[in-house]
Structure 1
Amino acid sequence: MSASFPYGDSAMAQAVRAYDWAATPLGPTTQWPSPLRNAVSLMLSSPESMYVVWGDALTFFYNDAYTPILGPRQPHALGAPLQELWADAWEAVRAPIEAAFAGRASRFEEVPIGMNRYGTPEDTWWTFSFSPIYLDDGRVGGAFCVTNEVTDRKVAQNRLADEHERLIRLFEQAPMFMAFLSGPQHRVEFANPCYSRLIGHRDVIGKPLAEALPDLVEQGHLHRLDEVYQSGRAYAANALAYNVQAEPGGRVERRLLDLVYQPIAGADGTVSGIFVQGLDITDRIGLERAVREAEVRNRQILDSVMDYAIIATDLHGLVTSWNEGAQRILGWSEAEMLGQTLERTFTPEDVERRQILIEAAAALESGSGMDERWHVRKSGQRFWANGSLMVLRDETGAAIGFVKVLRDRTAERLASEALRESERRLDALVRASSQSIFSASADWRELRQLVGEGALSDALSASLNWQQEMVHPDDRARLAEAIAHSIVNKTGLDVEYRVLDADQRVGWTLMRAIPLLDEREQIVEWFGTAADITDKRLAEQQLRQLTETLEERVRERSAALLLAEEKLRQSQKMEAVGQLTGGLAHDFNNLLTAISVGLELLQTRIEQGKYDRLERYVEMAQSSAARATALTQRLLAFSRRQTLAPTALEVQALVQGMHDIIARTLGPSIALQLRPAAAPWKVLVDAPQLENALLNLCINARDAMPDGGELTIAVANRVLDAGAAQQLDLPIGEYVCLSVQDTGTGMSADVMSKVFEPFFTTKPIGQGTGLGLSMIYGFTRQSGGHVRIDSEVGVGTTMALYLPRFDGVLAQDEAVPATEQPLRSTAPSCTVLLVEDETAIRVLMSEVLSEAGYRVIETAEGNAAVERLRSQETIDLLVTDVGLTGGLNGRQVADAGRQYRPTLPVLFVTGYAATAAVGAGQLEEGMEVLTKPFLAVDLERRVAQLLERKSH
Structure 2
Amino acid sequence: MFMPDGQSANPLRFLAGEGQMADMIRSHDWADTPMGPAETWPHSLRTSLGFVLNSTLLGAVLWGPELRLFYSDGYREMLGDRHPGALGQPVVDVWGETYAPIAESFATVMATGQGFGSRDIRLPMVRDGVQKTTHWNATASPIFGEDGSIMGILNIAIEITDQVKANAERDEQHLALNSENKALSDSVDVRIAERDSDVSKEQAFEQDAERGQLALAAGAIVGTWSWDLTQDRFTIDEAFSKSFGLEDLSRLSGIPLARIVANVHPDDLDGLAAAISEVIARGGAYAHQYRVRQCDGEYHWVEANGRVEHAPDGTPLRFPGVILDVGEKRELVEQRDNAWNDLRQLNAALEDRITERTQELMQSEEALRQSQKMEAVGHLTGGLAHDFNNLLAGILGALDLIALRLEQGRTKDLEKYVTTAQGAAGRAAALTHRLLAFARRQTLLPEPTSVNRLVIDMLGMIQRTVGPGIRIENVAAAGLWPALVDRSQLENSLLSLCINARDAMPTGGRLTIETCNRWIDPGMGKQLNMPEGEYLSMCVSDTGAGMPPEVIAKAFDPFFTTKPLGAGTGLGLSMIYGFAKQSGGQVRIHSEVGEGSMVCIYLPRHHEAGVEADKSVAPLKLVPTNAGETVMIVDDEPSIRMLLTDVLEEMSYHVIQAADSQTGLKILQSDVRLDLLISDVGLPGGMNGRQMADAARVTRPNLKVLFVTGFAESAMLNEGHLSPGMTVMTKPFNIGILTERVRDLISL
In the superposition, the TM-score normalised over structure 2's length comes to 0.49
Larger CA Rg, structure 1 vs 2: 1
